[in-house]
Structure 1
Amino acid sequence: MASLPLEGLKVVDLTHSAAGPFATSILGDLGAEVIKVESPEGDMTRTWGYVIRDGVSTYYLAMNRNKRVIRLDLKRDEDRRRLYELVKDADVFIENYRVGVAERLGVDYETIMRINPRIIYVSIKGFMPGSKYEDYPAFDIVIQGMSGLMSVTGCENGEFVKVGVPITDMITGFFAVIGILSALRIRDRTGRGLRITVPMLDSAIYVMGIHILYYLFTNVVPKPMGTKYMSVVAPYQAFRAGDGKMFILAIGNDRIWRRFCEVIGRPELADDPRFRTNPDRVRNQGELERMLQEIFMTRDRDYWVRLFLSNGIPAGPVYDVSDLVRDEYVNEYVLTEVNVPGLGRVKLVRNPIRFDNESPGVRYLEY
């Protein structure tokens, strides 16, 4: 792109691990100048996942593109002064230290605002400061458990499981970006900076709203349902085809249901009193699942996906990562390559936002 939307925005990033780095990567994608300040030991995620070379891991690269990286020991006066110089003309300052650490290092809200009253000061925390949980350490898996997210994830009649990506870190990162962009608009009107706090637990519970409201009205505790969608809509789940591969079928309304019954050669199911309406199908979901699974075992996955998509019925294959990176669409629109000194050509995922059909892309990858 000739011009990115956040060009001219300077972000001083003291975050580590995942939630903060994910947020600042988005800002970097959108054109902000992000200066990632690491301790002399480096971000802990440099050793997470596959370590490509000493101090560089796949996890770290995925979370830290479009940033300039420096290392400062903020316990030393000289390095703290260097940080203060960066802050003087910055627009955003973001940290995710445990409660009390920013104060000990001299990078707390009051100190940073005295240096630059126009700065947006962002704190990502596990829990709200001042709460009974404020001193608890928080990683994604802790928050997945405490938020209830893990309790609705997993196979039916099985144990709870975590989501396969650090989803609560990412949700928190998204909310941090929303908060920053909103605060910049406020600053446009007032001329002054703003303090933003984004707790991970609160962010995760926000996306649990459909389950919380369901429980409050019914007093029924939501449970894991595998690939099914609560007691909301059916069939809306994964099925296994005759070749052992899985696909998703999403019958979102009664109109699609009637078309689906015609397409699979079972038109009589459309008016079967057990399945005629969505509430009927939800009520008799187990029986319907067994019936459809028997039908789907007669053909391979690709047959069913092609048949459904050609008839306007929402469906798609269940991919693993090796399938994903071979997909034609993914290679054309999602993946991009960047040349990284010392690492060669590295494939990364593009930012999905298109501005006049152009993706912001990955401009550089420092480590």
Structure 2
Amino acid sequence: MTFSQHNSDNNGPLQGVRILDFTQFLSGPYGTQILGDLGAEIIKVEAPAGDLSRTVPPHFIRGDSAYFHTINRNKKSIVIDLKSDGAPQLVRRLISESDVVIENFRPGVLGRLGIDRDEELAANPSVIWASISGFGQDGPDRDKPAYDMIVQALSGSMSLTGERGGSPVRTGLPVGDLAAGLNMAIGVLAALHNRTITGRGDFIDISMLDCLVNMLSYQGTYYLESGEVPGRQGSGHDAIPTYRQFTAQDGRDIVTTANTERMWRAMAEVLGHPELIEDPRFLKNGDRLRNKEELWAIIEPAFLTRPAQEWVELFNEAGIPVGMVNDLDLALSNPQVLHREMVVRLEDADGTSVETLGNPIKLSRSRKDTAEFPPALGEHTAGILADVLGLSGDEIDTLRLTGVVQSPVGDDATIQVS
């Protein structure tokens, strides 16, 4: 089955949208996987060494890292040596046949390889181009390298993470990378919609730092209004003292978000302290906030009188939001998570399979029903060149023999195009 035939069987709201994806590692591939899950045709352009995430230890599936498999389903891989003499011409042809180009090179890198963004957009005015970088395409820091933890630190978000009075802590999730991928995908969707109206493409400039500064949310606005610098947030909330973590009798942690007066009253009843409801120190949330240390001194010991699961059941019965602090073994076996298909198994034609995380975007009418196994390095090189550019087998073989493209690892035979 050829690449275009295979892709024509896909569905999803982005069916028919072709994306040329130069991204690697996390931010870009995470964003393009979202677009692929929505039905877009993702042509993943890799260097001969492959996306660097293919080699991240410690877990591997058929020679490629589990890290790579997490963020590269529903994609086709073509290997192009961008440093080779014939690469710019080939890339330009692929751009002219694409709706969207996405890259996460540092500013200026593609230009030095002979692929000038402004020239390509002038030649293809309907193409949408998205760039992800640490600091954006302009400004004093545009040329600096950046990784997730760097932007967590610079954005201020790391200063909010950790126990009160303790050292700043990187979040357990790579939120800088993930936020950049999400915002890129949103930008692409907006630009695609605008193109249906105007016929024109657009350039989308995504900065990881911008994304995390935006995600400071109310904490950022609080500072701008008050001038007060917030500290580490721990597992609580600056404004709601009953919105936090508590430890139960069995040593397990639960969280509750009793953030209304009704919830507070129900919480006091469930904990066996109904007298707190009329206590003038705790009448309203403002009172409880001013006297939070006194409040905690009463309710923390109360949580130590029952195991965590009992508290969860009691809080649920009383209509108080509550949740167990799950390790990943419990989180990924949660019946609700499984029901929502947030753990999925991908299977390749050779029987190789991998369990990974599902697509959270649930569409009732245009959902993409199938998910393709992440591609082997260069797996679709010949098919893409034949079906997208219309190259003959001889032309493809010449590109391979001159080092411009690469066929799958270990394939020394002449490329055959179906």
Q: Tell me if the contact between 1:109 and 1:195 (Cα under 8 Å) persists in the aligned partners.
A: no
Superposed CA RMSD: 1.9
Alignment partner, residue 243 of structure 1: 250
Alignment partner, residue 40 of structure 1: 48
Alignment partner, residue 64 of structure 1: 72
How far residue 50 of structure 1 moved from its aligned partner, in angstroms, is 2.5
Match of 2:109 among 101, 106, 122: 101
Match of 1:269 among 269, 276, 281: 276
Alignment partner, residue 220 of structure 1: 228
State how 1:113-152 maps to structure 2 within 5 Å. Answer: 113-152=121-160
Q: Tell me if the contact between 1:46 and 1:59 (Cα under 8 Å) persists in the aligned partners.
A: yes
Alignment partner, residue 27 of structure 2: 19
d(CA) in 2 for partners of 1:257, 1:132:
49
Match of 1:77, SS state, is coil
Q: How many residues align?
A: 366
d(CA) in 2 for partners of 1:311, 1:359:
37
Q: Tell me if the contact between 1:72 and 1:80 (Cα under 8 Å) persists in the aligned partners.
A: no
State how 1:148-159 maps to structure 2 within 5 Å. Answer: 148-159=156-167
How far residue 56 of structure 1 moved from its aligned partner, in angstroms, is 0.9
After superposition, give the CA deviation of every residue in 1:191-238 in whole Å (9 maximum; x if it has no partner): 111111011111110011311221122222111121112x22121111
Alignment partner, residue 162 of structure 1: 170
Task: Give the structure-2-normalised TM-score.
Answer: 0.83
How far residue 114 of structure 1 moved from its aligned partner, in angstroms, is 4.2
Match of 2:181 among 158, 170, 173: 173
- More relative contact order in 1 or in 2 (CA 8 Å, sep 6+)? 2
Q: Tell me if the contact between 1:338 and 1:347 (Cα under 8 Å) persists in the aligned partners.
A: yes
d(CA) in 2 for partners of 1:345, 1:44:
21
Alignment partner, residue 294 of structure 1: 301
Alignment partner, residue 85 of structure 1: 93
CA distance 1:285–1:359, shift in 2 (3 Å) = farther
How far residue 49 of structure 1 moved from its aligned partner, in angstroms, is 4.1
d(CA) in 1 for partners of 2:366, 2:235:
34
Q: Which amino acid aligns with 2:347?
A: N
Match of 1:151, SS state, is helix
Q: Which amino acid aligns with 1:322?
A: D
Structure 1: gaps of 5 or more residues: none
Task: Give the structure-1-normalised TM-score.
Answer: 0.95
Q: Tell me if the contact between 2:11 and 2:366 (Cα under 8 Å) persists in the aligned partners.
A: no
Alignment partner, residue 321 of structure 2: 314
Q: Tell me if the contact between 1:354 and 1:360 (Cα under 8 Å) persists in the aligned partners.
A: no
Alignment partner, residue 204 of structure 1: 212
Tell which structure's C-alpha radius of gyration is larger: 2
CA distance 1:50–1:360, shift in 2 (3 Å) = farther
Q: Tell me if the contact between 1:16 and 1:43 (Cα under 8 Å) persists in the aligned partners.
A: yes
How far residue 361 of structure 1 moved from its aligned partner, in angstroms, is 5.8
Structure 2: gaps of 5 or more residues: 1-8, 377-418
